[in-house]
Structure 1
Amino acid sequence: MGFPGTWMTESESVVYRVVPKCACSTIGQIMFYSDHGRFFDGDIHDATGDMHKWAMESSQPIISRAVKEQQILAFTCVRNPYARILSSFFDKICGIQRNGKRYRGNLVPLLIQKYGIEVGGEDGKQEFDQIASFRRFLLFARDTIRFRKPMDPDIHWSAMSGHISTFIVNGGRYNQIFFTERFNDGMQRVLDAIETPVKVDLAQIPRFNESEGHGPKRAHPVSAYFDDLSRHLMWEIYRKDFQLFRYDFDNPDNKFPLGEVDLDEVHAKLGN
């Protein structure tokens, strides 16, 4: 299976396991900048050169060797599961994507038909009941993850622990896992531990939120979207994410983790 979703700088200074909806655009741009002294012009997910990505065949043996030798710092970044699934809903389901179309073509019509959700009209800008539609989307997300119906789960709402585990199972080891909510602290720790061709001043780095503006703004506090049933579904889907990455399941409005990630525990529990 190799190392899907893994990026590495061309200089082989650092290896990163992408977790969708967890600051991956900003992290990718920082990696690109640390090699070339400039940002990639466009969405870093579209870059097909000047960095190694598992999705590019020519990069695979290089990434594979680097990860398995474990001589290069490897890291990833996680996010509060409540905020992450809400972000996926507003960006991917309600929003119009970079290409001017709906995400994954027939996905939104399928959701409207089978689950009765609303997305704010053709352009995503009309008023609609965000809470009711989100809860129906969450039911759909659960169905894709638990039952692989009516389709396989999407990378943007499949559990972070699932993404993170492929790297471990196939022979990699993380040196650092940090939180999107404390991005500067975590990213600085990574930069302090590696040598890069170009020095990165984190205070000067813009945020590359490629999903910004795709969909409607969230109109309510996080907790308003999660009633008892929704929280039951969240535990069913993301229990490992809450437990391993120390997020507060009991208070959806507390976006911050309750403690640091225990790397040994992550490797033990996701390495089977």
Structure 2
Amino acid sequence: MGFPGTWMTESGTLIYRVVPKCACSTIGQIMYYSDNGAFFDGDIHDSKDKLHKWGQEDSRPVIEAGIRAHEARIFTCVRNPYTRILSAFFDKIAGIQRNGNRYRGKLVPMLTQKYGVQVEGDFDQIASFRRFLLFARDTIQYRRPMDPDIHWSAMSGHVSTLVTNGGRYDQIFFTERFQDGMGRVLEGIETPHPVDLPRIPRFNESEGHGPKRLHPVEDYFDDLSMHLMLEMYKQDFELFRYDFDTPANKMPTGEIDLDEVHAKLGPRAVA
């Protein structure tokens, strides 16, 4: 299986397990800048060199060796499950992608036909999102009508791949406390180019893809929606210390226990 979704600086200072919809564009650009003194011109997910990625064949042995040696700082970033899946809906389902098309081609027409999701014109955001949530639950719990997409599959699933294959995180921080968390990742590391974190822009590559969210987060989640969220993301809420009972509270309720994460997501963890 290896280490899918893992990026590493060519200088060997940082190793990052990407979790979609959790500031991954900004983190990738910071890593790229720390080695090259400039940002990648475009979406960092499109870069093909100057940043090792597991998806690039030549990078795989380098990343694996880096994780085994653990001389780099290994980290990832997580986000409140409520705001994360809302972001996935407005970006990937309601939005138009960079290529001018809908995400994954026939996905949205299928959602319209099978789940009644409407994303054209002045649609009912709350009703369509709740229908999408039912679809997301079906993909995660039953793997139908398709396997879960990386943008709404559980964060713990992404995070676990590195642990299952023998890696260990030095830090997992919160998107909601990005400056503090990324600052601690960079603390004490000598990168080829210094990173002035307060001056780094946020690279929200999904911004503008979809319609603006019209309602507060909590308005999208009724009792049934919250039940579906618990089915999909119970471990995310518990491990990463987010408040399941209060969708309006996007902030974490405590610090992440790395020992607990490694114990519960590692190769010996009992499902």
> Aligned with 1:104: secondary structure?
coil
**Contact 2:30/2:195 (8 A) holds in 1:** yes
State the match for 2:247 in structure 1: 252
Q: CA deviation at 1:195?
A: 1.6
State the match for 1:62 in structure 2: 62
> Aligned with 1:74: secondary structure?
strand
Q: CA deviation at 1:69?
A: 1.7
> Aligned with 2:76: secondary structure?
strand
- Rounded Cα–Cα distance in structure 1 between residues aligned with 2:63 and 2:118: 42
Asked if 1:267 corresponds to 2:262, the answer is yes
- Rounded Cα–Cα distance in structure 2 between residues aligned with 1:55 and 1:16: 13
Asked if 1:111 corresponds to 2:106, the answer is no
Asked if 1:218 corresponds to 2:230, the answer is no
Q: TM-score, normalised by structure 2?
A: 0.98
Which sections of structure 2, spanning at least 5 residues, go unmatched? none
| Amino acid corresponding to residue 209 of structure 2 in structure 1 | H
State the match for 1:130 in structure 2: 125
1:47-126 map, 5 Å = 47-119=47-119, 121=120, 126=121
> Aligned with 2:7: secondary structure?
strand
**Contact 2:13/2:71 (8 A) holds in 1:** no
Overall identity of the aligned pairs, in %: 73
> Aligned with 2:74: secondary structure?
strand
> Aligned with 1:248: secondary structure?
coil
Question: Pairwise CA RMSD of aligned residues?
Answer: 0.6
- Rounded Cα–Cα distance in structure 1 between residues aligned with 2:71 and 2:11: 13
Q: CA deviation at 1:34?
A: 0.3
Match of 1:238 among 230, 233, 236: 233
| Amino acid corresponding to residue 200 of structure 2 in structure 1 | I
> Aligned with 1:177: secondary structure?
strand
State the match for 1:149 in structure 2: 144
- Rounded Cα–Cα distance in structure 1 between residues aligned with 2:23 and 2:73: 18
Match of 2:189 among 194, 218, 225: 194
Q: CA deviation at 1:76?
A: 0.1
> Aligned with 2:40: secondary structure?
coil
> Aligned with 1:133: secondary structure?
helix
Q: CA deviation at 1:193?
A: 3.4
- Rounded Cα–Cα distance in structure 2 between residues aligned with 1:70 and 1:193: 16
> Aligned with 2:172: secondary structure?
strand
Q: CA deviation at 1:218?
A: 0.7
